[in-house]
């Protein structure tokens, strides 16, 4: 599909007002997206597990205004409190998606949002937040175009979410979602995420992810700045090629349930992401001493127990501990006994792979 196919024909129906609610999950990348081109086109393809517990619930109320507004008209609240701080990001999002949702200036919107995870836990809420908002907006469009096929609905929701935050494109539908064109993955696109189309061994069903909250402070470097630093990065070409190669390798790993192959690839991806940060100019480090303590503990535990626990990182100090469901009891014990002490206030969140966003209302 091309960008043009997401521009609707003039609407023939009209809707005066309404309200819709979506719950949309966060996701954790296995092959990382780091670096982008213009218009939120990723420099390399990525793939993620969809999470289940870490999610954003967004209610969008809308009512038609008398004549079309010159500017976007909206209010936004987090946990029932007005959040002026969110407005610039949403305004930018509206500007980017306006060509694809021409009804936007005809309505006033109230956006009420809440996260299941603690605010400023260092867990990125952009993927869940932007995908939830994109889904609510698509619900309005579905009212204007009732014949819209479900597949197109999800695809366009992912397309729009991507324009809010790249990784949000992977938070619409499916447990394992790939975003970005890759020669080895049929149907893959830079414009939206797709459910991974190949066989996945049952050992990856309900895979567990415990998120260790190592540092809940504000990140020193935003992911927007980090993506930009890949432009003149000395290793960018090798990195982008490696992401393609890793996606190709994942195919047999997923199909055969090759956990050792999975662990090696996923941990290398996480460390490569941070290596890119450490080797950009300016360089920066988002890991904290406790991030490294945890990684070493995980390695020692895996060696001693022959379990299949491994880690991945996103753009921050928190550690995602990944393990198969059949090792849950053992690994959860290890986390409580040996890793919780490295978390801020002992905090961690047990999560597992989910199926994607849900319409609540
Ligand atoms: O969606 P963004 O622009 O915040 O970028 C997210 C980048 C990583 O989380 C570091 C990796 C990924 O693929 O999710």
Which residues on adjacent β-strands are paired with residue 82? 77
- Would the CB of 33 count as within 6 Å of ligand 1? yes
Q: What is the pLDDT of residues 163-195, one digit of tens each?
A: 999 999 999 999 999 999 999 999 999 999 999
Return the bridge partners of 63, or none: 17, 108
Q: Is the peptide bond before 282 cis (omega within 30 degrees of 0)?
A: yes
- Mutate which of 47, 170, 314 for ligand 1? The one with the most ligand atoms within 8 Å of its CB, which is 314
CB neighbours of 66 closer than 8 A, spacing ≥ 6?
Answer: none
Residue 339 in contact with residue 291, Cβ under 8 Å?
A: no
Return contacts of 249-256, CB within 8 angstroms, 24+ apart: 250/30, 250/31, 250/47, 251/184, 251/198, 254/176, 254/196, 254/198, 254/199, 254/200, 254/201, 254/204, 255/198, 255/199, 255/200, 255/201, 256/201
The answer to whether residue 67 scores a pLDDT higher than 90 is no
Cα dist. 144→10, 34, 53, 97, 103 in Å? 10, 36, 32, 17, 9
Instruction: Quick: pLDDT tens for 271-315.
Output: 999 999 999 999 999 999 999 999 999 999 999 999 999 999 999
- Whether the per-residue pLDDT at 99 is higher than 80: the answer is yes
The percent of residues in the chain predicted with pLDDT above 90, rounded, is 93
Q: Say if ligand 1 is within 6 A of residue 46 CB.
A: yes
Q: How confident is the model at residue 120 (pLDDT cuts 50, 70, 90)?
A: low
Q: At which residue do the structure tokens 């096929």 appear?
A: 149
DSSP secondary structure code for residue 124 in this structure: -
315 CA closest ligand 1 atom index: 10
Quote the CA–CA distance of 10 and 5 in Å, as a whole number. Answer: 13
């Amino acid at each position: 599909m091309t960008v043009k196919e997401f521009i609707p024909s003039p609407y023939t129906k009209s809707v005066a007002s309404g309200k819709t609610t979506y719950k949309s999950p966060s996701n954790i990348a296995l092959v990382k997206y780091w670096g982008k081109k213009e218009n939120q086109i990723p420099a390399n393809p990525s793939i993620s597990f969809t999470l289940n517990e870490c999610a954003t619930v967004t209610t969008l109320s809308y009512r038609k205004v008398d004549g079309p507004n010159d500017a976007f008209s909206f209010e936004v609240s987090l946990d029932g409190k007005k959040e002026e701080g969110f407005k610039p990001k949403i305004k930018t999002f509206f500007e980017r998606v306006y060509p694809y949702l021409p009804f936007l200036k005809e309505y006033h919107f109230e956006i009420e949002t809440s996260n299941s995870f603690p605010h400023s836990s260092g867990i990125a809420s952009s993927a869940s937040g932007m995908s939830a908002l994109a889904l609510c907006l698509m619900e309005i469009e579905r009212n204007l175009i009732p014949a819209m096929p479900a597949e197109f609905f999800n695809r366009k929701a992912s397309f729009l979410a991507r324009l809010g935050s790249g990784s949000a494109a992977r938070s619409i539908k499916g447990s394992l979602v790939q975003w970005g064109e890759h020669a080895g993955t049929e149907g893959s696109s830079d414009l939206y995420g797709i459910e991974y189309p190949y066989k996945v061994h049952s050992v990856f069903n309900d895979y567990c992810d415990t998120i260790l909250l190592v540092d809940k402070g504000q990140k020193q470097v935003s992911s927007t700045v980090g993506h930009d630093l890949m432009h003149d990065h000395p290793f960018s070409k090798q990195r982008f090629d490696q992401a393609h190669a890793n996606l190709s390798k994942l195919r047999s790993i997923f199909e055969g349930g090759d956990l050792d192959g999975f662990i090696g690839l996923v941990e290398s991806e996480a460390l490569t992401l941070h290596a890119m940060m450490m080797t950009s100019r300016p360089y920066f480090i988002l890991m904290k001493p406790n991030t490294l303590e945890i990684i070493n503990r995980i390695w020692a535990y895996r060696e001693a127990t022959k379990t299949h626990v491994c880690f991945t990182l996103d753009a921050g100090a928190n550690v995602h501990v990944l393990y198969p469901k059949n090792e849950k009891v053992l690994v959860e014990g290890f986390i409580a006994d040996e890793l919780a002490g490295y978390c801020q206030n002992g905090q961690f969140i047990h999560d597992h792979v989910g199926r994607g966003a849900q319409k609540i209302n």
